Amino acid sequence: MQTTWQAILGWYDRHGRHDLPWRNTDDIYHIYLSEIMLQQTQVSRVREHFYPLFLEHFPTIGALAQATEEEVLSRWSGLGYYNRARNLHACARLAGDGLPTGYKELLGLPGIGDYTARAICAFGHNQPISVIDTNIARVLKRYFALPESTPKALLEHADKLLNTSRPRDHNLALMDIGSMVCLPKNPLCSLCPLSQSCMGIDAPETYTENKKSGYESRELYYGVMMSKGRIALVRTTGSMYKGMLTLPPLEQTDREPIASFRHSYTKYHLTVNLYEIDTLSGDDEVIWADGREMDDYPLSTLTKKALRLIYTPKGNHELQ
Residues of this chain that bind ligand SF4 (CB under 6 A) = 139, 142-143, 181-182, 187, 189, 192, 194-195, 198, 200-201, 204
Shortest distance (Å) from residue 169 CB to ligand SF4: 17
Buried b (16+ CB within 10 A) or exposed e, 7-41: bbbebbeeebeeebebeeeeebbbbbbbbbbbbeb
In terms of CB distance, is 35 or 169 closer to ligand SF4? Answer: 169
The count of other CB atoms within 10 Å of the CB of residue 269 is 13
**Cα separation of 286 and 131, whole Å?**
44
In terms of CB distance, is 139 or 259 closer to ligand SF4? Answer: 139
In terms of CB distance, is 7 or 153 closer to ligand SF4? Answer: 7
Shortest distance (Å) from residue 149 CB to ligand SF4: 14
Q: Active-site residue among 35, 71, 156, 219?
A: 35
Cα Rg of the chain (Å, integer)? 23
Shortest distance (Å) from residue 3 CB to ligand SF4: 15
Kindly list the distances between the CA atom of residue 79 and the CA atoms of 36, 178, 179, in Å, as whole numbers in the listed order.
11, 24, 21
Active site residue 35: yes
Shortest distance (Å) from residue 163 CB to ligand SF4: 16
Angle at 76 between CA 309 and CA 218, to 5 degrees: 50
In terms of CB distance, is 184 or 257 closer to ligand SF4? Answer: 184
Q: Bridge partners of 217? A: 269
The count of other CB atoms within 10 Å of the CB of residue 312 is 11
Residues serving a catalytic function are 35
